[in-house]
Amino acid sequence: MDQPAAQRYWVDWHRQYDVAGSSLGRRLAIVQRRVRQALDAQPPGEIRVLSMCAGQGRDILGVLADHARREDVVARLVELDPVLAADAERAARSAGLDGVQVRVGDAADTGMYEGVAPVNLALVCGVFGNLRDADVRHTVEQLPRLCRPGATVIWTRHRGTPDLTSTVRSWFADAGFEELGFDVADGFLIGVGTHRLVGPALPYEPGLRLFDFIGNGQDAHL
């Protein structure tokens, strides 16, 4: 798929969030609930957040709009598609979220998080369904480089055949994370994992490559 066509696909894909009863709408509700819980649990002071492949930023922006800790949040949203990134930028500015920065770039490059990492909350939503299994594992293994001790990671992955979610959960355990919850929705293939880093954080290292997207996303349920 050529780049303009890929951009059109992802822009159209995001419209499913606004369809009543859609899988993406259900997933968003779960992710936002977990984001809210993670923010509620943070101690006083600055809260650093990153969002990989952030799209329109709905996972975090929809929570921060009315959250009591909104002024404490310093967030970096990274999105490759400039149209979606512009949507996120407009939403952040409209909500008065001065601590939110949207960057157009490759979320697989750890250098995109320089200045915000290590974070208290990492969002890896809509990513793992578009990766080779080895890249999913590599990303999980490298997340301690982007996280502070005790940080929360929220991730998504479809449960369609082959269902990799149980294996992903075991990779998080191997990487030093404890599971806070794994959420599903009846009638949907949604999987949302929430984990806390209880093992040692690793030194932040810019310039590492975490993953490569495969295909164009049309066959992924994310």
* Bridge partner residues of 209 (DSSP): 109
- The predicted-structure confidence for 24-51, as pLDDT tens digits, reads as follows 899 999 999 999 999 999 999 999 999 9
What secondary structure does DSSP assign to 176-220, as a single string? TEEEEEEE--TTS---EEEEEE-SPPPPP-TT-B-----S-STT-
pTM: 0.92
Tokens of 76: 């970096």
Domains of the chain, residue spans = 3-197
Please answer whether residues 65 and 89 qualify as being in contact, where contact means their C-beta atoms are separated by less than 8 angstroms.
no
Q: What is the CATH number of domain 3-197?
A: 3.40.50.150
Q: What is the mean pLDDT of residues 179-205?
A: 97
Which pLDDT value is given to residue 21?
Answer: 72
Which pLDDT value is given to residue 42?
Answer: 97
- The predicted-structure confidence for 49-83, as pLDDT tens digits, reads as follows 999 999 999 999 999 999 999 999 999 999 999 99
